[in-house]
Structure 1
């Protein structure tokens, strides 16, 4: 597998609709969106680099309160494509009651999109 492509990312959360958006900084030419499940979508550019994620029902998926999705301390979003599978792992860290809490979401889908094996990480600061 090639080396890991690490991209700095921005984060937004819509409390009213419970939607999490994570997007790489910079310019990307959109090519396609891949549905990981009925609530999670990843956008890929023309070079098949994943550069954005949209997650509906984020509080339910992470099993945390909506208010805890407003100010994350740190987020890592890892997309690995290997052996015909697209793997998504999101690590979400937030503060509550003066303590750091780590929540993770792991999802996968069959790579029916002919995307070559690769790994990309989007990281918030």
Structure 2
């Protein structure tokens, strides 16, 4: 399993979440995982960013809960599949919420097998 440093950015105005690798990369392609969910790959076919456009709708939460959540993102690529799982945890008035969103598509892009965990 690869360990890379990622940053989390939430753009409230555009309701956009971006999990992006902090290392240098050269963009190659974006793969649509689901409506509004895109996984970006570099020229070595390594995932370096996951974007959620319309994040509050995708995650089923109010925008204000996306400013500083606890999260885990799991990206797994096998010979046959590309999978993403986003886990988001936040609290309101001492009540805890745990949201999970999974997406899976065929690996029609000949991406190499890899597993990456992103946390904050």
Report the TM-score, using the length of structure 1 for normalisation: 0.87
Q: Distance in 1 between matches of 2:71 and 2:41?
A: 19
Deviation at 1:100?
3.6
CA-based RMSD: 1.4
Residue of 94, 98, 102 corresponding to 2:98:
102
Q: Does 1:79 align with 2:65?
A: no
Matches within 5 A, 1:30-109: 30-72=27-69, 74-109=70-105
Query: Match for residue 19 of structure 1?
Result: 16
* 1:8-35, Cα deviation, whole Å (9 max, x unpaired): 2111111222111111112122221111
Q: Distance in 2 between matches of 1:34 and 1:40?
A: 9
* Structure 2: runs of 5+ lacking an equivalent: none
Q: Deviations over 1:33-70 (max 9, x none)?
A: 11112211111112221111111111111111111111
Worse-superposed segment, 16-25 or 98-107: 98-107
Q: Deviations over 1:56-91 (max 9, x none)?
A: 11111111111111111x221111112411000011
Q: Is the 8 A contact 1:36 1:107 kept in 2?
A: yes
Q: Distance in 2 between matches of 1:39 and 1:102?
A: 21
